[in-house]
């Protein structure tokens, strides 16, 4: 692929230093020797990331994966990790006699058990947590209810002290596997299940009703995610058609549209999904025809998807995707370890330290890499005089896309690099209150 070759050429000549790595997945060091299944990871805002190796405990890195240390829960089957609003960590673990919840309040260094439920002959796991404030947490945990293996129950739990203690709100015997939770902007919680489709709760998890807008018969929901605009994304597994589809709602769940399967193809499934602070969607997919295992990304609410797997070995399943508010995204794989990349704004030569003004936003261009045309979007909170210019890596200005007064709202501009050589470029938006810059790649 030309993009990868271009990156390596610049890296070897030393022109970019560590800048170019921000757009590619970078491997972290090994958590353990040999292949490892990594079903969950979570990243704090201070550079710490924790990841679980199935059956081997939780590992912590304070240097973005350059080194890892096992910090506890050795032998535990941890299936979910999450960061609380107070930057504490929660770990959900399953075992053959139930499930347990662990908590770390010291940046992942030590773990304490805060809840345990006994369910004999347990063969299932699944669930997530959502945060309704600094200290109120609602979580679901799946287990074998019995008497047969296929009888699955879901416990709905709530904590009002940041996860230090938990209350069992209800046992849901008709949901099947409780796979996912999502908190909407209006405070409603959505639960994605294997048997009952999408459920909703308007009272912090106390009671649940079916989401009437979700089509009946579309039962298996593996993931639910929401972006900063309130748009909802649901992964539905259609076993009869042997394929998974992503559905989107832009009106708070009142109506739904399909966005298809990332990367197209005939059949497949979405193993993991994460939406970063810039609303880029990352999906770890397995495609059946043609067979492919890769990460795809969308910058436009799932309307289109771009291959976003450079740096991760081919035929590697991505089971976990997560990130933090500073723009770092981590991928946990089945056998190839943990990878990471950064979406943080990159400064141009001579720029002052980065500022993130609330008055305006600058989105990542799409597509990226591009040839020869790409789109650059920005949002103004109020009318302002702005300048949007393109720079070569040397700092030379090569184009001016906009210079003047723009009204409040979202603006989308086209940049055509037909007369420019392949390489890495920067685009910089200057407005009252600050400057934002991002990096893009022209690959002819």
Structural contact between residues 380 and 359, judged by C-beta atoms closer than 8 angstroms: yes
Per-residue model confidence (pLDDT) at position 399: 94
Residue 179 reports pLDDT greater than 80: yes
**Structure tokens, 176:** 């099947």
**Structure tokens, 361:** 């936003």
Percent residues over pLDDT 70 in the chain: 89
d(C-alpha 221, C-alpha 236), whole Å: 5
d(C-alpha 235, C-alpha 164), whole Å: 31
pLDDT 10s digits, 354-383: 444 456 788 888 888 899 999 898 888 788
Structural contact between residues 91 and 84, judged by C-beta atoms closer than 8 angstroms: no
For all residues of the chain together, what is the average pLDDT? 86
As a whole number, mean pLDDT of residues 19-43 equals: 78
Question: What three-state secondary structure class fits 237?
Answer: strand
Question: What three-state secondary structure class fits 441?
Answer: strand
- Reference 187, options 249, 131, 254, 128; nearest CA is 131
Per-residue model confidence (pLDDT) at position 275: 96
**Structure tokens, 123:** 């063969």
Per-residue model confidence (pLDDT) at position 122: 86
Per-residue model confidence (pLDDT) at position 358: 52
Question: What three-state secondary structure class fits 248?
Answer: strand
Residue spans of the domains in the chain: they are: 18-342, 360-442
Per-residue model confidence (pLDDT) at position 435: 80
For residues 62 and 13, which has the higher predicted lDDT (pLDDT)?
Answer: 62
As a whole number, mean pLDDT of residues 47-55 equals: 93
**Does domain 360-442 sit in CATH 2.60.40.1930?**
yes
Q: CA angle, corner 165, sides to 164 and 171, nearest 5?
A: 140
pLDDT 10s digits, 64-88: 898 999 999 999 999 999 999 999 9
pTM for this one? Answer: 0.74
Within 8 A by CB and 6+ apart from 254, the residues are 213
Q: What is the DSSP string of 258-303?
A: EEE-TT--SSEEEEEEEE-TT--EEEEEEEETTEEEEEEEESSTTS
Structural contact between residues 53 and 59, judged by C-beta atoms closer than 8 angstroms: yes
Question: What three-state secondary structure class fits 103?
Answer: strand
Q: Phi first, then psi: what are they for 181, rounded to 5°? A: -125, 150
Per-residue model confidence (pLDDT) at position 149: 66
As a whole number, mean pLDDT of residues 51-69 equals: 93
- Reference 136, options 96, 199, 86; nearest CA is 86
d(C-alpha 192, C-alpha 222), whole Å: 6
d(C-alpha 423, C-alpha 141), whole Å: 48
**Does domain 18-342 sit in CATH 3.40.50.620?**
no
Per-residue model confidence (pLDDT) at position 150: 74
Q: Tokens 């790595």 label which residue?
A: 21
Percent residues over pLDDT 90 in the chain: 56
The Cβ of residue 174 has, within 10 Å, a number of other Cβ atoms equal to 11
Q: Tokens 């497949």 label which residue?
A: 268
pLDDT 10s digits, 239-284: 665 677 899 999 999 999 988 778 776 678 899 999 998 899 999 9
Per-residue model confidence (pLDDT) at position 265: 67
pLDDT 10s digits, 182-218: 999 999 999 999 999 999 999 999 999 999 999 877 8
pLDDT 10s digits, 126-178: 899 999 998 999 999 999 987 776 789 999 999 999 999 999 999 999 999 99
**Structure tokens, 72:** 């506890």
As a whole number, mean pLDDT of residues 38-66 equals: 92
**Structure tokens, 56:** 């081997």
d(C-alpha 108, C-alpha 88), whole Å: 8
Region for 253 from its dihedrals, namely left if φ exceeds 0, alpha if ψ lies in -120 to 50, beta otherwise: left
Residue 7 reports pLDDT greater than 70: no
Per-residue model confidence (pLDDT) at position 177: 93
The Cβ of residue 32 has, within 10 Å, a number of other Cβ atoms equal to 13
pLDDT 10s digits, 318-331: 999 999 887 889 99
Identify the weakest region by mean pLDDT among 58-62, 114-118, 210-214, 313-317. Answer: 313-317
């Amino acid at each position: 692929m030309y993009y990868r070759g271009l990156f390596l050429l610049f890296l070897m000549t030393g022109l970019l230093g560590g800048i170019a790595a921000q757009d590619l997945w970078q491997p972290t060091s090994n958590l353990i020797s040999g292949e490892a299944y990594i079903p969950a990871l979570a990243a704090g805002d201070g550079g710490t990331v924790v990841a679980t190796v199935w059956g081997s405990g939780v590992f912590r890195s304070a240097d973005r994966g350059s080194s890892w240390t096992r910090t506890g829960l050795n032998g535990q089957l941890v299936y979910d990790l999450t960061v609380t609003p107070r930057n504490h960590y929660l770990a959900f673990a399953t075992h053959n006699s139930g499930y347990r919840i662990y908590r770390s309040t010291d940046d992942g260094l030590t773990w304490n058990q805060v809840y345990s439920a006994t369910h004999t002959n347990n063969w299932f796991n699944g669930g997530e947590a959502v945060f309704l404030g600094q200290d109120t947490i609602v979580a679901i945990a799946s287990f074998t209810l019995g008497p047969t293996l296929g009888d699955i129950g879901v416990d709905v739990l709530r904590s009002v002290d940041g996860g230090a203690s938990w209350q069992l709100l209800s046992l849901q015997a008709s949901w099947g596997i409780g796979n996912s939770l999502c908190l909407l902007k209006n405070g409603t919680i959505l639960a994605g299940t294997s048997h009952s489709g999408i459920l909703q709760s308007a009272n912090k998890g106390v009671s649940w009703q079916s989401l009437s807008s979700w089509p009946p018969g579309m039962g298996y929901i593996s993931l639910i995610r929401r972006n900063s605009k309130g748009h909802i994304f649901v992964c539905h597994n259609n076993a009869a058609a042997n394929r998974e589809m992503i559905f989107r709602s832009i009106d708070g769940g009142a109506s739904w549209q399909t966005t298809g399967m990332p990367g197209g193809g005939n059949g497949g499934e979405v193993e993991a999904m994460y939406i970063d602070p810039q609303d880029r969607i990352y999906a770890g997919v397995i495609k059946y025809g043609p067979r492919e295992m890769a990460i795809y990304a969308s910058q436009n609410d799932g309307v289109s998807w771009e291959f976003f797997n450079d740096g991760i070995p081919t035929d590697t399943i991505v089971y976990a995707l997560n990130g933090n508010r500073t723009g770092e995204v981590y991928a946990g794989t089945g056998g190839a370890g943990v990878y990471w990349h950064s979406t943080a704004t990159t400064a141009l030569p001579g720029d002052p330290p980065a500022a993130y003004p609330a008055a305006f936003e600058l989105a990542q261009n799409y597509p990226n890499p591009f040839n020869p045309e790409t789109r650059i979007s920005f949002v103004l909170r109020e009318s302002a005089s702005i300048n949007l210019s393109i720079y070569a890596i040397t700092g030379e200005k090569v184009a001016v896309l906009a210079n003047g007064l723009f009204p409040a709202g979202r603006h989308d501009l086209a940049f055509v690099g037909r007369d420019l050589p392949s390489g890495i470029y920067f685009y910089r938006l200057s407005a009252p209150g600050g400057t934002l810059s991002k990096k893009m790649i022209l690959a002819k």
